[in-house]
Structure 1
Amino acid sequence: MAGSSHGHTPAAWTGVIISFIGFCVAGTFMVAAQPVGFWAGMALVLGGGVVGGIMKMMGMGQPKDAHEAFQARLEAGRKPADVQG
């Protein structure tokens, strides 16, 4: 997937970073035995997915045809090292 720039978009990075922060918050509050903080962290995890999806719809994600174009270039005989996103 690295040759097709899978996940190398602002939408993907933003969604993953927000979700990662949510996991950290949820884990911290789980250890501290604070259910409200845990569920707040889980809400952040879901929020990361929502934000990433919205950003993708706004055009900051990878186009749907990018993977198909990558596969077509591979089938045409080009080496994966020659294919740059």
Structure 2
Amino acid sequence: MSKAPASASKSAPAPAVHIGVDHSQELGHGNSPAAWTCVIVMLVGALIAAIAFVIANTPIFIAGACVMVLGLILGFIMRKAGYGVEGSKLKSSGH
């Protein structure tokens, strides 16, 4: 065992230096109708799959997984249709 007191702290490591990272552009948070639709549909699918898992019902579990995949596809289609971040349908609405 060490004889050092419990309150003694070790020196903090040096802060990490990020070389080559451009922080001048705002990344955003994906706040768009396509992203929200994708997330909400996938959450519903996850809820269905979780309930089916608890009640041990394989067909409903698979249906919940299919709903999650459908949400991913729906979000992709909406993004391509112009409802994604900086999409053509959102330019005039101020999103």
Report the TM-score when normalising by structure 1: 0.68
Higher RCO (CA < 8 A, seq sep 6+):
1
- Per the alignment, residue 71 of structure 1 pairs with none
Partner of 1:59: 82
Q: CA deviation at 1:44?
A: 0.4
- Match of residue 21, structure 1, among 44, 48, 54: 44
Instruction: Looking at secondary structure, tell me which structure has more helix per residue.
Output: 1
Question: Percent identity, aligned pairs only?
Answer: 35
Tell me by how many angstroms 1:7 deviates. 1.3
Distance in structure 2 (CA, Å) of the matches to 1:39 and 1:24: 12
Aligned length: 63
Deviations 1:22-41 (A, max 9, x none): 00000000110100000000
**Aligned match of 2:5:** none
Deviations 1:46-85 (A, max 9, x none): 0000000000000000149xxxxxxxxxxxxxxxxxxxx8
Matches within 5 A, 1:2-81: 3-63=26-86
Q: What is the TM-score with the length of structure 2 in the denominator? A: 0.61
Unaligned runs of 5+ in 1: 65-84
Structure (1 or 2) with the larger CA radius of gyration: 2
CA RMSD in angstroms, aligned pairs only? 1.8
